[in-house]
Amino acid sequence: MSTYHIIDEEKINKLLIEGKKASKSEVLDIIKKARDCYGLSLEEVGVLLQVEDEDLLNELFQTARYIKETIYGNRIVLFAPLYTSNECTNNCLYCGFRMENKLLHRRTLSPEEIVHEAKAIESQGHKRILLVCGEDAKKTHIDHIVDGVTAIYENADIRRINVNAAPMTVEDFKKLKKCGIGTFQIFQETYHRETYKKMHPTGAKKDYDYRLTAVERAFQAGIDDFGIGPLLGLYDYKFDILGTLMHSQYMDQKYSVGPHTISVPRLRPALGSKLKEIPFPITDEEFKKIIAVLRLTVPYTGMILSTREAPHLRDELINLGISQISAGSRINPGGYEEDDRDATQFEVNDERSLDEMLRVIVKNGHLPSFCTACYRNHRTGEAFMELAKDAHIHEFCHPNAILTFKENLVSYASEQTKEIGEKMIKEEINKIENEKIKEETIKRIKQIEEGQKDLYF
Ligand code: SAM
Ligand code: SF4
């Protein structure tokens, strides 16, 4: 099936040409309009992506901070990836797992080994996992994923498992839905067909259209939380951000549900990569602009940042609109047991442990959240978006962040983290406006202190 109707390259190029023509006051008008939190059109995105003027960029950043604060408050959700296999029959030029990389130590975990890793992740204090694997029809087929997910739910206190895997058939997506995954995540890598073709010379991943339509099949199978994203650095970021938003708009218009999350992975060096350098390098300033533009354009869509980024930048990007980050990550199968650098997908940039990360987050005035309530209360897809847009979601998310952070402090945190964390919890409880919810939160905090777990609204 061709997908030229989903990603219209000619239109993207035109938007970028038109975008350059906007005057300073037109740019300011768009930024001002974004403050209403209704999002922006692709034409407006075309304009913002072309902004280079320092004053305008500052205005953009300030507005992104305002929207982030208005919609998400100071919460930041945490998760960790669990790599179940680095075996792969594709040959993505940029990835350490590509088939022709003979330097890589290959391994596919059994369900028991997957549980072992999940428990190690849990022992850091995580409750949310992103399962990741290469694509190999014999090794990482749907049963490998479903068995892994099921084994984790049955044997570890992990409350939400999201999956990042290759595109599947509707039948396989149904199996994934049935075993209770949260979000199905898949990155198009680049929306630019020519570049996509060059980057994916062999293997099933060659098929641009089959990949682009994966989230549609997931949706048809009942998975209404899906995540998308570009791999930034493969092609012109302005094109790929517009491609991502066009993809998002297509899903929204056709199914009334846009992506639950957009990820912003930036290309990293990888052992055995075929790329000698990043084809389209992105500076940190440009990266900040990307995050800010996305926050203005799709204010209610979660935005995920991984440990591909450096510590100082990650701390800054949280303010600009990131709503979820990974921490304490290992990106090789079995990595939480043995950190084998010759088995990883790319080079991690932020090696801080979850406990350390929690202290940094709190010191920067953010509230860590391990909440998984929406998905377990069936607040997903359209239902989630409606609640989010009415801003009711905040009423649940804030106390849930407090409760789950408290549980983390009681069960997993170091003394140092407990000390500043407890102080923050007291302050956050005082911020709850609804008296009933406040009372109930205080009651549940006591119950957590007495040993109860998994309390949420
Ligand atoms: N194998 C599946 C696939 O490609 O869709 C799923 C997992 S793959 C390990 C997850 C993502 O890692 C890819 O979609 C790609 O965007 C990202 N990735 C691959 N190589 C990377 C690199 N060198 N730097 C940063 N991200 C990379
Ligand atoms: Fe395989 Fe995914 Fe890496 Fe491509 S990005 S080589 S499909 S693991």
Tokens representing 409 are: 């402090």
Greater model confidence, 368 or 347: 368
- Residue 99 alpha carbon, nearest atom of ligand 2: 6
At 247-293, the pLDDT tens digits run: 999 999 999 999 999 999 999 999 999 999 999 999 999 999 999 99
pLDDT at residue 413 in the model: 97
Nearest ligand to the C-alpha atom of residue 100: 2
The H or E element spanning position 129 is strand 128-133
At 315-328, the pLDDT tens digits run: 899 999 999 999 99
Q: Determine the distance separating the centroid of ligand 1 and the alpha carbon of 229, expressed in angstroms.
A: 11
At 432-449, the pLDDT tens digits run: 999 999 999 999 999 999
Q: Over 70: is that where the pLDDT of 391 sits? A: no
CA atoms within 13 A on the CB side of 416: 8
- Residue 167 alpha carbon, nearest atom of ligand 1: 5
Measured by CA distance, the residue closest to atom 6 of ligand 2 is 98
- Give the DSSP letter string of 250-272: HHHHHHS---SEEE--B----TT
Over range 198-209, report the average pLDDT.
98
Q: Over 70: is that where the pLDDT of 387 sits? A: no
Over range 37-63, report the average pLDDT.
98
- Alpha helices, H only, 235-351: 237-255, 284-297, 311-320
Q: Determine the distance separating the centroid of ligand 2 and the alpha carbon of 264, expressed in angstroms.
A: 17
Residue 453 to residue 292: CA distance in whole angstroms: 36
Q: Over 90: is that where the pLDDT of 392 sits? A: no
pLDDT at residue 342 in the model: 87
At 8-20, the pLDDT tens digits run: 999 999 999 999 9
Q: Which residue, among 152, 293, 179, 294, has the nearest Cα to 228 in the 3D structure?
A: 294
Q: Determine the distance separating the centroid of ligand 2 and the alpha carbon of 114, expressed in angstroms.
A: 19
Q: Which residue, among 94, 85, 89, 87, has the nearest Cα to 117 in the 3D structure?
A: 85
Instruction: Report which residue type is found at 299.
Output: P
- Residue 203 alpha carbon, nearest atom of ligand 2: 7
Q: Cβ(371) to ligand 1 under 6 A?
A: no
Beta partners for residue 163, in sequence order: 131, 184
pLDDT band at 2 (very low <50, low <70, confident <90, very high): confident
Q: Determine the distance separating the centroid of ligand 1 and the alpha carbon of 433, expressed in angstroms.
A: 42
Q: Determine the distance separating the centroid of ligand 2 and the alpha carbon of 111, expressed in angstroms.
A: 21
Q: Determine the distance separating the centroid of ligand 2 and the alpha carbon of 360, expressed in angstroms.
A: 32
Residue 73 to residue 2: CA distance in whole angstroms: 41
pLDDT at residue 3 in the model: 87
Q: Cβ(184) to ligand 1 under 6 A?
A: no
pLDDT at residue 393 in the model: 65
Q: Determine the distance separating the centroid of ligand 2 and the alpha carbon of 449, expressed in angstroms.
A: 44
Q: Which of 42-46, 184-188, 189-193, 375-379 has the lowest mean pLDDT?
A: 375-379
Residues with CB under 6 A from ligand 2: 88, 90, 92, 95, 97-98, 134-135, 205
pLDDT at residue 378 in the model: 79
Beta partners for residue 303, in sequence order: 262
Phi, then psi, of 334 in degrees rounded to 5: 85, 10
Q: Over 80: is that where the pLDDT of 367 sits? A: yes
Measured by CA distance, the residue closest to atom 26 of ligand 1 is 267
- ∠ CA 201-243-199, nearest 5°, is 15
pLDDT band at 125 (very low <50, low <70, confident <90, very high): very high
Over range 29-46, report the average pLDDT.
97
Q: Cβ(345) to ligand 1 under 6 A?
A: yes
Q: Cβ(231) to ligand 1 under 6 A?
A: yes
Over range 142-159, report the average pLDDT.
98
Measured by CA distance, the residue closest to atom 18 of ligand 1 is 95
Over range 196-216, report the average pLDDT.
98
Q: Cβ(139) to ligand 1 under 6 A?
A: no
DSSP assignment letter at 106:
P
**b/e per residue 233-246 (b: at least 16 CB within 10 A):** bbbbbbbbbbbbbb
pLDDT at residue 83 in the model: 98
pLDDT at residue 405 in the model: 98
At 398-431, the pLDDT tens digits run: 999 999 999 999 999 999 999 999 999 999 999 9
Most ligand 1 atoms within 8 A of CB, residue of 86, 89, 164 to mutate: 164
pLDDT at residue 159 in the model: 96
